[in-house]
Amino acid sequence: MKKAYLSIALSLGAIVSTFAQDIVLKGDALFGGLQARHIGPALMSGRIIDLETHPTNDKVLYVGTAGGGVWKSSNGGSSFVPIFDEHTQCIGQIALDPSNPDKNIWVGTGEIWTRNSVSVGDGLYKSTDGGVNFKKVGFENSERISSIEINPNNSQEMYVGVLGALWGDSEERGVFKSSDGGATWEKILYIDQKTGCGDVILDPNDPNTLYASMWEFRRTGWSFESGGNNSALYKSTDAGKTWNKIHNGFPAGKLGRIAVAVAPSDSKRIYAVLETEKDKDKGLYRSDDAGASWELLNGDFGLVVRPFYFSRIVVDPKNPDVVIKGGLFGSISRDGGKTFRNLGNMHADIHDFAFNINNSDQMFAGTDGGVYRSWDGGNTMEIVANLPVSQFYHISVDNEEPYNIYGGLQDNGSWYGPSQSPGGIEARDWNVVGVGDGFRVLRHPTKRILYSEMQGADNVWRYDMDKNQTKTIQPLPVKGDPKLRFNWNAPMAISDHQPDRFYMGSQFLHKSEDMGNTWEIISPDLTTNDKSKQQQENSGGLSKDNSGAENHCTIFTIAESPVDQNVIWVGTDDGNVQVTQDGGKTWTNTTPNISGLPANTWVYHIEASVHGKGTAYAVFDGHTSNDKTPYAYKTTDFGQTWTSIISEDVYGFVRSIQEDYESENLLFLGTEFGLYATIDGGKNWSRFNKGIPPVAVHFLDLQKQTNDLVLGTHGRGIIIVDDISPMRQLSQEVLAKNFHFLETKPTIIQESGGFGGTATEREFVGRNRSSAAKIMYYMKKRHIFGKMSLEIQDMDGNTLTEISPSKSKGINIVTWSYNIRPPRMAKGKTFSFGGFTPARVPAGTYKVVLTKGKETFETTIELINDPKSDRTEADRMTLHKQTMDIYNTCEDLAYMVYELDEIVAKAEEVSKNGGSKTAKPVISELTALKETLVITTGDNYVGSAEPQLREKLATLYSKIAQGFDPANASELENLALLTERFDKAKADFAKIKSKRVAKMEKFMAGKSMEPVKLKTREEYLKDQ
Amino acid sequence: MRKLKITFMVGAIMAMAFTTTQAQDVDEIISTYLENIGGVDALKSLKGMKITAKVNQGGMEIPLDIYQMADGRQMTSISFQGMTIKQGVFDGETLWGTNFQTMKAEKSDSEATSNQKLDANDFPDALIDYKEKGYTAELLGKEDMDGSETFKVKLVKEPRMIDGVEVDDITYYYFDTEAFIPLAQESEINQGPQKGSIQQIKFSDYQEVDGLYFPFSMTQGIKDGMSQPIIIDAIELNPEVADADFAFPEE
């Protein structure tokens, strides 16, 4: 007994101590009903890595993208749906099990076209249900999987080619084999920590024969090296037990990336494209004896261009002489590789192809700008317009209503588009404001002017959005300046204090006070200026590749404090966080004050805080030094001390951070694997997965008026989380409650609408923000049992409408489109479509009553009129009165027709019971009257009868109720006409009742028949 | 009724206490669920149900009467402006609905009708006697559903014909790990322009009706996309119906 008492006391103690701790919500439990919306754009789409067809069903096509996941088409490439949204979006290879292609789908993650901006993968995934669910099966550290080959006769036997880490040594490379369907793996071809497998190919006609191209390669933040003595093409004829180089006919010396393909219709025919030491040896080699000997056929530009980016050869499944090679434009040969011509016009930089299995004239191409289809052998290409996989490097927002989003895309220029648009955000809404690769686009704070740029600040444009005029304004070296080093993604910044001020960063900070017309350098070289990292002309390895993408020792981020314009932060790609407190006269490198951060880690973004002039956040990205650790720090003392604000919850390196303007503890983090949020200043982070896949989030911005969090993703375009303000309210006090209404801003009654969009059926259309009023609450637990309902009432407690409440744990959001139900309409033969229009309530305060089991919770919400509208208060009152008057008239008519129908029904009964003499006139006169009140014949379409009073009233009601202006003169005259007609009908009805019906009732009384039983008007309306 | 509910809740919690100590298998989850909502015998003795519900579309409240019968007959009748339109009506042989333009009945295509016949054995719950029906169920693991921990169960029913091709009929259930009732159900859309997307239905407001428990609130939509709630006002068990209600009206 005593023992029991003790144990109870102990457990009570445990409970008490648990209570003393902070309540921590993680994941969905925190975000609840918040839901992101994707707005594309899709018109320029994004980089495609891999295309995979189904072996027997030509309607099925899979697309693996650089940063936007896996998409599946079931209609021959007409439209696509994403099927890999719970995993990393960076794809290397997709494979279908030839024995079970509808069920077993493999996805190898990690882009294999290793440009500077590639993301990373995190393993091999398998679906056994046609792509509904995927599970990771291993290769955690593979970073890039280039090939997945499955024995067509034995699903258990498969090979995986791992290209491996791009920025560092790794042993998880080479060719791997599984004999148990992927449960266990054996490394069967491995060279060294720097050499990965570019391709492993299974001879489709002999599963014991394999080809593997091995590639020695390495990238750093400032260089790229392709090729070495370890690059080679291997062959195995014993299912991977032994491998031999097959170089008979290849030049001696170092090799680079080797593209290889076996003709599906002729196993002896092999194509390989070699990157070699000498230019004369580069090109397409062909073997007609299964690799025993090779002959160089063609060294055209289209074949040898940028092997790290374009090493895919695809052979027509039916004809071994038809071969396509990826490249700047894509090349096709119809003579076995002797000669090539370019494919039809499409977006440049073509990475992969797929032929229709049944008709080789139909093909698909994957480019830097989406998937293209061709029906004529690649002559004419047409883009798939519903793949929103655009890759933003950066985004920003303005303060217009609706606000616009600006940003630049990988190989797809610079753009801006609206956060909402009639009918949804679609292709026509986007405006191009820069060419080449696009990066940062910033809107002038007060003028209709924006700044945009292309790679390496080769051009920086000032663009007048109204006049459509462009001026180039980038800072150029002047006398005495060294060479200016601009990053590929060169930083620019504007000022909260001086609207015309504009900053750019090379190794120096450049400032202009006149929108870029004149420039002044206001810093010394803020980088490490490490000369060994500035040898870009030697970059590329066997194929020189000095595109500017590897420019290093540059400024990457600039932030002027919103609190004090003399405080400016600068972060460099070689790890310096510099700050000035005097507008650039003196600078302090605060990096030595950051603990736990490896030297020279890329400063990806600095956010100067609104919460204090010495407060800033800095995030660091070490992935180009092979360090994928997340780093985020905060300072409140101008960088004298930095505190890490990362927790173990964060997976993936960090590229951006956004603070909330109101709650200092609310922060958002853009990582390589999605969006994270914290409500406790970084002690705990949760990944936001409500509609946001683990996509690389390159930049975040918070729109000040709407509190919308806008994500610039590198693979899924722009994603918006509308109104994050409820997250500000999740204090410990709120979290401790079972139920709590969160405050909402007054809702503006939207007066604008328009006629919708112009998108065709197969174009992507981004969702709009809901214009409805929001009711938000927090629940500690999900509601499962018992009734939970929500009513909107006027302030007198009259119910206006019932809404289905959301029941999630965490934040719940319910919307009300500030309408009450449409009027009850009289029953007719057909519908009165105008009568489906709900009536809008006027601006004001409304009660929200939520009932959860026995408990009732109440709050109020406020509707306000659009302050920008020029409509007067008096007009609005008039409109509301007119709307409700006709609304009530419609219901009066409905009740009258009900009464009439009931009397006719009774009259028919009387008629059958010997009272036909008194009943017949009732029936005939009332029927005649009814025919003037509602349609009693015809259908709902072109078989429609002539509209009667109900239809005419409803049409007029609908016009007035949907509008925002009081009824016009014509409408008022029409109303008078209808009112007069209704008055006459009422009089006629009264007359028939007093004469014919009264007579019938007398007869009924004499026969002791039940009189007509009518519901009251109120009962009738309620029951409808 | 309130007493019953409390007993049920306590029962659910007790079940949790007993079962979470050991690994779950799919049959335990399904049998606990069926027990929790009233027991297999009571469920099997049901002859039909009438669900009175409403959906709200752009401010317009649409009342629905949904009939589901043990023999596979079903009907949704929608009331607009005093008129009734029937949708998804199945009399055992013919699947039909009212055309909104002509207000006349029209038959569904033969593939949809044959697929409808396959569901005749799923009243009131596809999980009852699933093995006897030749279905398979598999526990895929635990997954978070809107912040609640759930068991994800995959149910494979009879294959269906879609555009002339036989495809598996798969439903994923998300059972709350404490209460052992489904919080959501998902399936892949296998036809039309949304093919390949995931349809999701979320359940809540479980309430008791004559000893059986039903969700009185459902929200249906595309996963991570727009959704439409349906509010259930009443559920009547074993309603009186006439054959004529389900029959295709021959003119």
Taking alpha carbons only, the member of A218, A213, A351 closest to residue A285 is A213
CB distance from B229 to chain A under 8 Å? Answer: yes
Identity of the residue in A79, A83, A810 whose CB atom sits nearest the CB atom of B193: A79
Q: Which helix (H) or strand (E) holds A359?
A: none
Q: How many CB pairs below 8 A link A and B?
A: 143
CA distances A801 to A38, A345, A797, A1020, B41, Å, are 30, 56, 11, 17, 39
Low-confidence residues of chain B: pLDDT under 50: 1-22
pLDDT value for B226: 84
Residue numbers of B between 24 and 53 with CB closer than 8 Å to A = none
Q: Are A750 and A789 in contact (CB under 8 A)?
A: no
CB distance from B5 to chain A under 8 Å? Answer: yes
Residue numbers of A between 826 and 845 with CB closer than 8 Å to B = 826-828, 830-832, 835-836, 838
Residue A14 phi, psi dihedral angles, 5° rounding: -65, -40
Q: In angstroms, rounded to a whole number, what is the distance separating the alpha carbons of residues B209 and B207?
A: 7
Closest-approach residue (CA) in chain B for A787: B205
pLDDT value for A6: 37
Q: Bridge partners of A65?
A: A48
pLDDT value for B103: 87
Q: Estimate the crossing angle of helix A949-962 against helix A969-992, to 10 degrees.
A: 150
CB distance from B80 to chain A under 8 Å? Answer: yes
Residue A262, classed as helix, strand or coil, is strand
Q: Which helix (H) or strand (E) holds A306?
A: none
The gap from C-alpha B113 to its chain's centroid, in whole angstroms, comes to 18
- Give A479 to chain B, closest Cα distance, Å: 57
- Cβ contact (<8 Å) for B179 and A75? no
- Cβ contact (<8 Å) for B195 and A32? no
Read off the tokens for A244. Answer: 């031999």
pLDDT value for A201: 97
CB distance from B69 to chain A under 8 Å? Answer: no
pLDDT value for A183: 96
Q: Are A509 and A519 in contact (CB under 8 A)?
A: no
pLDDT at A15 over 60: no
Kindly give the pairing relationship between strand B74-80 and strand B83-90: antiparallel
pLDDT value for A856: 97
pLDDT value for A268: 98
pLDDT value for A942: 79
Identity of the residue in B83, B101, B204 whose CB atom sits nearest the CB atom of A941: B101
pLDDT in tens, A158-167: 999 999 999 9
pLDDT value for A465: 97
Closest-approach residue (CA) in chain B for A689: B224
Q: In angstroms, rounded to a whole number, what is the distance separating the alpha carbons of residues A582 and A689?
A: 42
- Residue A767 with chain B: CB contacts under 8 Å: 226
pLDDT value for A939: 81
- Cβ contact (<8 Å) for B206 and A788? no
pLDDT value for A1: 37
Q: Are A610 and A661 in contact (CB under 8 A)?
A: yes
- Cβ contact (<8 Å) for A81 and B217? no
Q: Which helix (H) or strand (E) holds B182?
A: strand B182-188
pLDDT value for A2: 40
Domain boundaries, chain B: 2-246
Identity of the residue in B58, B60, B206 whose CB atom sits nearest the CB atom of A785: B206
- Give A888 to chain B, closest Cα distance, Å: 15
Arithmetic mean of pLDDT over chain A: 95
- Residue B81 with chain A: CB contacts under 8 Å: 824-828, 831-832, 835
- Residue B219 with chain A: CB contacts under 8 Å: 804
pLDDT value for A760: 92
pLDDT value for A547: 87
CB distance from A962 to chain B under 8 Å? Answer: no
Taking alpha carbons only, the member of A348, A380, A392 closest to residue A366 is A348
Q: What is the mean pLDDT of residues A783-805?
A: 95
pLDDT value for B251: 67
Q: In angstroms, rounded to a whole number, what is the distance separating the alpha carbons of residues A38 and A18?
A: 40
Read off the tokens for A541. Answer: 């390895």
Residue A644 phi, psi dihedral angles, 5° rounding: -70, 135
Task: Specify the domain boundaries for CATH 2.130.10.10 within chain A.
Answer: 392-533+548-731
CATH 2.130.10.10 fits A392-533+548-731, yes or no: yes
pLDDT value for A73: 96
Give the model's confidence band at A278: pLDDT under 50 very low, under 70 low, under 90 confident, else very high.
very high
Q: Are B91 and B73 in contact (CB under 8 A)?
A: yes
pLDDT at A783 over 70: yes
- Cβ contact (<8 Å) for B204 and A85? no
CB distance from A690 to chain B under 8 Å? Answer: yes
CB distance from B78 to chain A under 8 Å? Answer: no
CB distance from A79 to chain B under 8 Å? Answer: yes
CB distance from B163 to chain A under 8 Å? Answer: no
Q: In angstroms, rounded to a whole number, what is the distance separating the alpha carbons of residues A930 and A920?
A: 15
Q: What is the DSSP string of A162-175?
A: E---SSS--SS-EE
Closest-approach residue (CA) in chain B for A61: B196
CATH no., domain B2-246: 2.50.20
Share of chain A above pLDDT 90, in %: 93
Identity of the residue in A786, A824, A827 whose CB atom sits nearest the CB atom of B207: A786
CB distance from B136 to chain A under 8 Å? Answer: no
Taking alpha carbons only, the member of A290, A291, A304, A299 closest to residue A339 is A299
pLDDT at A147 over 90: yes
pLDDT in tens, A624-664: 999 999 999 999 999 999 999 999 999 999 999 999 999 99
Residue A988 or residue A1024, greater confidence? A988
Best of B81, B83, B216 to disrupt the A interface (most A CBs within 10 Å) is B81
pLDDT value for A20: 53
Closest-approach residue (CA) in chain B for A786: B205
* Complex confidence, ipTM: 0.87
pLDDT in tens, A234-247: 999 999 999 999 99
Q: What is the mean pLDDT of residues A134-141?
A: 97
pLDDT value for A971: 97
pLDDT at A943 over 90: no
CB distance from A825 to chain B under 8 Å? Answer: yes
Residue A993 makes CB contacts below 8 A (sequence gap 6+) with: A903
Q: In angstroms, rounded to a whole number, what is the distance separating the alpha carbons of residues A313 and A328?
A: 14
pLDDT in tens, A810-824: 999 999 999 999 999
- Cβ contact (<8 Å) for A940 and B103? yes
pLDDT value for B23: 54
CB distance from A735 to chain B under 8 Å? Answer: no
pLDDT in tens, A536-563: 998 999 999 888 899 999 999 999 999 9
- Cβ contact (<8 Å) for B206 and A786? yes
- Cβ contact (<8 Å) for A827 and B83? yes
pLDDT value for A936: 87
pLDDT in tens, A592-636: 999 999 999 999 999 999 999 999 999 999 999 999 999 999 999
Q: Which bin fits A457, alpha (ψ -120 to 50), beta or left (φ > 0)?
A: left
